[in-house]
Amino acid sequence: MPIATLREVLKNTRENHFAVGAFDTMDHAFTEGILAAAEETQTPVILAAGDFPGPDYSNFLPYLVDRISRTSVPVCLHFDHGGSFEACARAIRAGFSSVMIDGSALSFSENIALTKRVVEMAHACHVDVEGEVGHVGANAGSVESRRDDSWYTEPEAAAEFFEKTSVDALAVAIGTAHGVYKEAPKIDFERLRAIRSRVSVPLVMHGASGLSDEDFHRAVENGMCKINAFTNLTLAVTSRIADDMPSLISPLQMSHEISLKMTAYSKQEVLRHIRLFETEKIHERSRA
């Protein structure tokens, strides 16, 4: 299928109360696991690659773009946490179909001005944009946030931000944080409902690792349309591979087997998240 935009993969999420997962990928084995899960469930998926230290994108991106074109479900290639106008422009040139401009560490008016510029540039290239209002903070070890402290999204600020920027998706802060939690997060669902009632744009949840199954259900039920999953996914996959290590003996077997296991385990984890996000509700439309 041709690469999908963020708007395309998030279509009907709000109305039908389901979310689409954005899964960060840094290598071939992980990517194959994510796409295998999406194809098995025939659900759209967002492959995310971040504006932070990671793989050598000059080699990795052509593979992603080609691989997506040979996938049987809609796949959006999303640039996560773009830190500047220039970074987003580079991502668009490299083939991303969606970019996040993260101006959440700036003042409210500077965030609006920067996001608006990125939206104008991206929309001219038929690329969609995610913005962030309020600030999703960071737990120790996170590479995604420019500031550790978090502040909640005010519903009125979300409405004004959307009105002035015309973003295609909006990340909001309701009590989650990036990285590994020391104690379970407390999610402000009342605030989520208040934001939801004021803006029609698909809402995005960052820092979702560590939420309970019930939290996910309530988040989706109350309007989260895109949920980013990274920490949980990599932790689960790497710990299972670590458990397998003693049984892998020859060096030749090692690299091949580890790669296959990464794909198999990441597929299982992504399938679990697809169920948590209730993404398969997308099929209910066609049955109705």
Please state, in angstroms and rounded to a whole number, the distance separating the CA atoms of residues 241 and 238: 5
Report if residue 130 touches Co ion, rule: CB under 5 A.
no
Q: How far is the CB of 66 from Co ion (least distance, A)?
A: 26
Q: How far is the CB of 207 from Co ion (least distance, A)?
A: 6
Q: Which is nearer to Co ion, 32 or 51 (CB)?
A: 51
Q: Which is nearer to Co ion, 128 or 144 (CB)?
A: 144
Please state, in angstroms and rounded to a whole number, the distance separating the CA atoms of residues 96 and 90: 9
Q: How far is the CB of 139 from Co ion (least distance, A)?
A: 12
Please state, in angstroms and rounded to a whole number, the distance separating the CA atoms of residues 59 and 61: 6
What 3-state class would DSSP assign to 183?
coil
- Total number of residues binding Co ion (CB under 5 A)? 3
Contacts for 256 with CB less than 8 Å, ≥ 6 apart: none
Q: Which is nearer to Co ion, 35 or 229 (CB)?
A: 229
* Cβ count within 10 A of residue 283: 12
265: amino acid identity, one letter: Y
Report if residue 269 touches Co ion, rule: CB under 5 A.
no
Please state, in angstroms and rounded to a whole number, the distance separating the CA atoms of residues 149 and 128: 28
Choose the stretch contacting Co ion; rule: CB under 5 A; options: 53-61, 182-190, 201-209, 273-281. 201-209
What's the token pair of residue 85? 């106008």
Please state, in angstroms and rounded to a whole number, the distance separating the CA atoms of residues 116 and 123: 10
Choose the stretch contacting Co ion; rule: CB under 5 A; options: 69-77, 148-156, 202-210, 252-260. 202-210
Q: Which is nearer to Co ion, 221 or 257 (CB)?
A: 221
Catalytic (active site) residue 80: yes
Which residue among 144, 154, 168, 215 contacts Co ion (CB under 5 A)? Answer: 144
Subset of residues 218 to 237 that bind Co ion, contact rule: CB under 5 A: 221
Q: How far is the CB of 22 from Co ion (least distance, A)?
A: 9
Please state, in angstroms and rounded to a whole number, the distance separating the CA atoms of residues 80 and 49: 6
Report if residue 206 touches Co ion, rule: CB under 5 A.
yes
Q: Which is nearer to Co ion, 32 or 130 (CB)?
A: 130
CB 208 within 8 A of CB 216: yes
* Cβ count within 10 A of residue 266: 27
Given 80, 102, 128, 215, which residue is catalytic? 80
Active site residue ranges: 80
Site residues for Co ion per CB under 5 A: 144, 206, 221
